[in-house]
Amino acid sequence: MFYQLEQFGFRALWSPYLFIFIVLVIGGVFYLAIKKRHLFEGNEPLTKKQAILFITTAFLVYVLKGSPMDLLSHLMFTFHMIQMAFLFLLVPQLLIASIPVWMWKKLLTLPVIKQAFRFFTKPIIALVLFNGLFSFYHIPFIFDLVKTNFWYHSIYTIILFIFALFMWWPLLNKVEKAKLHGLWKVGYLFANSVLITPACALIIFNNQPLYETYTSLQSWINSLTLCVPPSVMADLQLSGPEMFSFMPPIYDQQTGGVLMKVLQEFIYGGILYRILREWYQKEKDEPMPVQFQDYRNIKS
């Protein structure tokens, strides 16, 4: 399968324009964080850890949306779900952690962004909207519409990413006073896991292929035009999605659903471990109540 991808050409496989854009973004952020931080309130320097994490995050975005992974996501549903898992469940976390706090604070002083974060990062709203948008995307009619139209696909991907950022914000940001503490963070993470399950279950347990994007020749070709230049598409002899799939459509669909759920639980498990460790450390570092100290002294 993979050797056949070469026929789509360098631009489809490696998205040079996206690579240039990501390099410019990295350069811009580093310029502000290193050379111009004195112009902003809060002058803490960009740490080595943040710099490495930001570059890693940018590289991961390129792998997901600019490498052959993006083309594969249009060829097989399995790769689409792997792309979704990392793009919306991992990348926003890394982005929140890699950008210096003072940069976030400056960004949040902009009126529109400030109001959006204030409203959409409320835990219940963030939970419902992100998981609702994710599930809505995977309704067959909506999926086929979005996946075969460049503008719908671009706009929906950006919106879903923004709401993924809102969803992770209450758990991970160091900018604002925490909206969730201790057990509430665990409950928030558990609710996320539960709310995303119906969409995965619909995909996994359905006995028929749901998406024409991966079964209908015309829909599949329309999907490919989102990442393959028209001049290349005109020269290709394509007979259908089965040319590049190593499993029947129903197995591809079910595998994608299973992988999405497994990756989601793995990512959430890592965050849960971090939450519990920080909670334990906080309880350990808090001073002992005076009454308990007096009681312990009496016992000794």
Looking at residue 73, its pLDDT comes to 95
Evaluate if residue 81 carries a pLDDT over 90. Answer: yes
- The DSSP code sequence of 146-169 is HHT-HHHHHHHHHHHHHHHHHHHH
Instruction: Indicate the pLDDT class of residue 289, thresholds 50, 70 and 90.
Output: low
> Using CA atoms in the order 208, 214, 219, 222, what is the torsion angle rounded to 10 degrees?
160
- Nearest C-alpha neighbor of 72 from the set 259, 265, 246: 246
Residue 253 makes CB contacts below 8 A (sequence gap 6+) with 77, 203, 206, 209, 210, 211, 214
Between 13-17, 169-173, 275-279, the lowest mean confidence (pLDDT) is in 275-279
- pLDDT range class, residue 17, cuts 50, 70, 90: very high
pLDDT at 142 over 70: yes
Query: Which residue did the predictor score with more confidence, 48 or 60?
Result: 60
Structure confidence at residue 293 (pLDDT): 53
The mean-pLDDT minimum among 64-68, 71-75, 208-212, 239-243 falls in: 239-243
pLDDT at 79: 96
The mean per-residue pLDDT over the stretch 278-283 comes to: 77
pLDDT value for 18: 95
The predicted model scores a pTM of 0.91
* Confidence band for 21, pLDDT divided at 50, 70 and 90: very high
Predicted pLDDT of residue 78:
96
Average pLDDT over residues 67-72: 94
Per-residue pLDDT, 257: 96
Look at residue 38 in the predicted model and tell me its pLDDT: 65
Rounded CA separation 258/203 (Å): 9
Angle between helices 150-172 and 123-137 (to 10 degrees): 150
Query: Do residues 253 and 206 touch, judged by C-beta distance below 8 A?
Result: yes
Mean pLDDT of the chain: 89
The pLDDT tens digits of the residues spanning 86-141 come to 999 999 999 999 998 888 988 898 999 999 999 999 999 999 999 999 999 999 99
Question: Is 207 a residue whose pLDDT tops 60?
Answer: yes
Quick one: pLDDT at residue 33?
84
The confidence score (pLDDT) of residue 39 equals 62
